[in-house]
A = this chain, B = another copy of it.
Amino acid sequence: MGVLEKVRTRSPKTAMAEPRAALPLDTILQGDCIAHMRALPTASVDMIFADPPYNLQLGGDLNRPDGSHVDAVTDEWDKFDSFASYDRFTRDWLAEARRILKPDGTIWVIGSYHNIFRVGATIQDLGFWILNDIVWRKANPMPNFRGTRFTNAHETLIWASMGEKSKYTFNYRSMKTLNDELQMRSDWEFPICGGPERLKKDGHKVHPTQKPEALLYRVLLAATHPGDVVLDPFFGTGTTGAVAKRLGRRWIGIEREGVYIDAATQRIAEALPLDESSLRTMQAPKGTPRVAFGTLVENGMVAPGMVLTDAKRRFQAVVRADGSLACGVETGSIHKLGATLQGAPSCNGWTFWHHESEGRLQAIDTLRQTYLLATQP
């Protein structure tokens, strides 16, 4: 434990890009992630989101039952000689991450059973304090074609603070509102990244493991404030940067591959900060028959900034990023705010609130129905 004390001050020679004084905000740094991290100032970043190589150790080819070939992750960046070399790599970048984080900052790391146990143990060894492990349940995972194991249908995220006593950021109310007035749990369901969100070039996916924006949306909304600085040392095609821009957070990306950087640069340039973004279709999660209003926001069916009114247009409210509503100084979930404004003990926000659609008012419940129709069999 207690690595902080051991952090040595490096000579400027080892720094690569910027002097440590300045944070290269909203920028992608090209090159090795550890080298670039060493050039960043100590205790300067509010959050780190990291999607490191998983060290999959895949064997031969795999075919589907119909004979088609599975396009596996065979990239060089995922190859390591041994667990020992993977552990060294992990410890090195995590130690730098720890130095760069502010005392009250937090780190998120995503992985699978191939690597997450080693990552988690190293995180603990370095003195981080694990706050939660989060399970991303994939709505549409790839099946196990040979029937040899359980369908590998999830990935794991670790969320950790700098230490046991850290005063980390957790937007409890935002998460609860996003989840329809229930505490947000440690298991999240999202579809894998596909459709128009998936970056492609010449008909092929640009990056083999692009993460869904809905996942980063929830992570950033939960653990940062607007204006906070988020570092992603394995930037890839820039999901973290695109969502950070949408949510009004600052970002720094580190990435080796020029192809990924090009795609990320264009993608982030096209990303619209929240109040300008229009209804954009993302894939909708499936499974839970109960739909939280926040789910519609997360999935782009309701844009933050959208104005809702009651049927008689007596009240007006604005949708916020976490799916809560604001009316003057009053805020709350669709149900809670409806009750407050009417002075009623309770209120069904789904039927109380309406939005302008095709020239007339429509209850937001129709959006939920649309969502359910799109996601239920």
Contact = CB atoms under 8 A, between A and B. Distances in A.
A159 B164 CA distance: 30
Given A113-B158, A116-B117, A118-B124, A185 B151 contact: yes
B117 A186 contact: no
Interface in A259-299: none
B185 A153 contact: yes
B120 A186 contact: no
A227 interface: no
B148 A172 contact: yes
A345 B346 CA distance: 62
B185 A150 contact: yes
A290 B61 CA distance: 26
A143 interface: yes
A93 to B, nearest CB: 17
A175 interface: yes
Top-8 shortest CB links A-B = A117-B120, A67-B344, A153-B185, A113-B133, A147-B172, A121-B121, A151-B185, A151-B183
Interface in A121-151: 121, 123-125, 130-135, 137, 141, 143-144, 147-151
Given A1-B83, A117-B118, 20 more contacts: A1-B82, A59-B164, A61-B345, A67-B344, A67-B347, A83-B124, A83-B125, A113-B158, A116-B120, A117-B123, A132-B149, A133-B156, A135-B187, A137-B187, A144-B183, A150-B159, A150-B184, A151-B183, A153-B185, A154-B186
A80 interface: no
Interface in A29-69: 57, 59, 61, 63, 67, 69
A192 to B, nearest CB: 13
Contacts of A27: none
A28 interface: no
A159 to B, nearest CB: 8
A164 B148 CA distance: 13
Contacts of A116: 117, 120, 133
Nearest to A134: B150
A375 interface: no
Contact of A141 (B63, B158, B185, B347): B185
Contacts of A154: 135, 185-187
24 contacts: A1-B83, A57-B164, A61-B345, A63-B345, A113-B133, A113-B158, A117-B120, A117-B124, A118-B120, A132-B152, A137-B137, A141-B185, A143-B183, A144-B183, A148-B170, A150-B183, A150-B185, A151-B183, A151-B185, A152-B186, A153-B186, A154-B185, A154-B187, A156-B156
Contacts of A159: 150
A61 B345 CA distance: 10
Contacts of A172: 147-148
Given A148-B172, A342-B67, A132 B120 contact: no
Contacts of A69: 345
Contacts of A120: 113, 116-118, 120-121
A119 interface: yes
Interface in A177-228: 183-187, 222
A132 B147 contact: no
B119 A132 contact: no
